[in-house]
A and B are shown apart, each in its own frame.
Chain A
Amino acid sequence: MNKLQKPIFEKSRKGKIGYSFSPTEFSDDLITIDKKKLREDIKDFPQLSEVEVVRHYTNLAQLNHSVDSGFYPLGSCTMKYNPKINEKIANFEEFSTHPYSPHKFVEGNLEIITTFEEWLKKITAMAAFTLTPSAGAHGEITGMMIIKKYLSSKGDPRKTILIPDSAHGTNPSSAHFAGYEIIEIPSNKDGIIDVETLKEYLNEDVAALMMTNPNTLGIFEKNICKISEILHKNGSLLYMDGANMNAFMGIARPGDLGVDVLHLNLHKTFSTPHGGGGPGSGPVGVASYLIKYLPTPIVYKKDNNYFVKYHEEKSIGRVKNFYGNFLVIVKALTYLMSIGKEYIRKVAEDAVLNANYIRKSLEPFLELPYKSKTLHEVVFSDNNLNVTTLDIAKSLLDYGIHPFTIYFPLIVHGAMMIEPTETESKETIDEFIDVMKKILEKAKNDPEYIKGAPYTTPVSRLDEVLAARKHILKWENLGE
């Protein structure tokens, strides 16, 4: 089917009804607000019957590629399968309580929060967590603010954050919005942070190093313990972006490696669905000396009762309404309980096996700019090809495979960043490898064909230049 849909506003017809709800029991005479403050009709607002709404969104859904429909090896995004039991449990009506309910009526929810924090502490060896940040970037800014507050209260405010050149764009942006200046440090030829280079960048202004580990090349920062040691000697902290925690969850714990502040992405490692861009959740874990700087509110248990602290003298303050993306946390806890100690390690093991299988299978056909050992993902380059990374990505769409992350990290020319995750079968991965070989072969003989891809998707390549020059950012009634 995959039929493009008219905007819902063009399907609207005056007088159609899509809802059913008991009418108001009171007359308009009760309205005391001045008429001038009341609005007229909402111009052009949709009017559809229920079945038309269902068809519109069902048809839209069919235009999407998703984890449920096929392979989605988007690097650094950990597009693993999203278990359905998580959804069922998060939809339990009893969990959907009001955030300002008296605590005695929501003890189940408060227990979920503290239980999930306990799980995260055991897996990461961090001393405490906040679950309030809504996404990875929100966790980053929270972590940066914690560092800032800690250093300022020590009377040692520092100005800069060191960020490797392979970092995701949110890292410098989050550090900037926490009031820091950013200094970029180059990766070495092995694709990791060089201890000697780092030393050259260290001075009394450096508040922290923000390290993604494994980094965006999929390489574990093997000098992490040494790096932590020299940072600490310099009075600086080690922040770890845990977006790629899927690579070593259950194998090692960031807290044991000398990490002071860590954020995790529940919508990556912990299997909650990404929702086409959110909602996510980005818990932040800290070493014990930073606990008092965590954002409020803080849920805790004492003598089998649950309490919430809304104010804490040294806290950075609130970063989010209420308790964060609570229902996302329910899903992540369901996931952890379902894999338990028996399978937590298996996650990383299978993810890394699959990624290395792809690496070795495609290495004869694509340039691998960094030869270091890689964990959960591998990054190839389009050097020496007669088509670009974008062309290959678009060709994959014709085979029902979502492309890998493209043109990132920036330090690799035409980067193709492939992350299969542990939830893919060997058949799927073999098929992907075969398709890649086919595309690369076709590119040699008929590059124009590859450059014209995709051919089978609901729309072909879209004109992004036109969109950026001539802004159409909402539907407008042009008359019929």
Chain B
Amino acid sequence: MTFDPRPPAHLPDDDRIARLDARFGELAELTDALLRSLREGAADPALADRWLAVWREAARGEAVLNLIREVERERQENQTLTEISMKLSSTSAIEEVLRTILDSLRQVVQFDAAGIFVYDREIGQLEIDMLVGYEKSERQILYQKFQEGVKVGQGIVGTVIMTGHYIYDPDVRRDPRYIAARESTLSELAVPIMARGEIIGALNLESDKPDAFTERDRRSLTAFANHAGVALERARSDRLRQHTRRMQEEITLARRIQSSFLPESTPDFAPYDLAGANFPSSEVGGDYFDFIPITQNDMGVAIGDVTGHGVGAALLMANFRACLRIESRNNFAVRAILGKVNDYLYETNLPESFVTAVYGVLDRQNHVFSYANAGHNPPFRLRRDGSAELLTVGGLLLGAFPNVAYEETSVQLSPGDVLLFYTDGVTEAHDNEGNEFGAERLRTMVQKLRNLSAREIVKQVSEAVREFQSVEIAQDDLTLSIVKYD
């Protein structure tokens, strides 16, 4: 059927209705007269002819009027659906659109209450999205019942969503499926709401009269449900988009926090050559490395890894860094610094979050590196002769337990020594087959590159790791730093 938005030429104007009413009045009078004459046993043929003529005219008038009413309803329905479409394109507020749908529906179908219900596939339950015509107390009853959980297949609405077929219930008192909230409801009509070929919910109407809805009403309701489907589907994709945007914002924020705390340039500390690099993963972890000038001849060297990802990890890392930098200025004993940092993090952090770290002080006059390892992947000390040693002395990871004692030790460095610090993102980087890069591969590689500058070693190793690792699997942050005794 094509839709002509112009009002039809044959609107049932008051005049026509008045004339028809007069015809029915005349018919009633003639009927009375005819019955009287029949009872009296003297039927008047002229009266009977006249009665028949008026009856025909009135019946024809009624039929035409019904047709006109039908056309008018169609026009009204099309007009309101057009209005809803316009509303849909002008506002993204789902509440407003759904309310408009139910309000407009009133102009086409008579009902006392209506509701739009949405099926949440993830939890397998139904939710109420919009109700009209419910008293406050009735609304509460319904909300409570839905909060307790109405599943697909339960209630009239739930059955419609399960089967995808409408249900017309002319007398809900005799239907065990009916979930009673409005006491006065006697009949109910519910149709499914579809979107992209899937059932996403149901639209239902309730009436205080029994058998209140017609097949024509059902067709109207289905047309309105289609619009509700478009609105709900659009709201869903809007929500999804917003969620994705929020996630991206969080990642950007975390990345900004993280990168603002990493050294922008490495200090000159001859005869030592220092370099470090961090490659944040897509999820943003909490990796950290630092070179902290303490005195003219003492340089703090740190590497750390914080549990978790995102803003939480970035903040914990910021906390750890601030704490370490403050304590490293007040204190010279590495084990005392880590003990204080541990207690501070323990007091301020959740029990399940912690930091693994190595902190040490490089003394360039005496060529001594004094360090403590707090539960971190042990750095390598690579000697010129190819031998290696792991820097493992220290204590527990930081921030998980109170009053932890740390041990420290001093390493006497010789010319050509390379200290290699890294986070588990380097050694646990894995390729498509699930093979890890591994500490051994890392050690061998740095041994081979040992004659290059610290910066060049960091560059080549991180390139090799990034080349090795699979792009399809989510990877951790990569952090690497080198201290080289030239």
Our verdict on whether A and B bind, yes or no, reads no
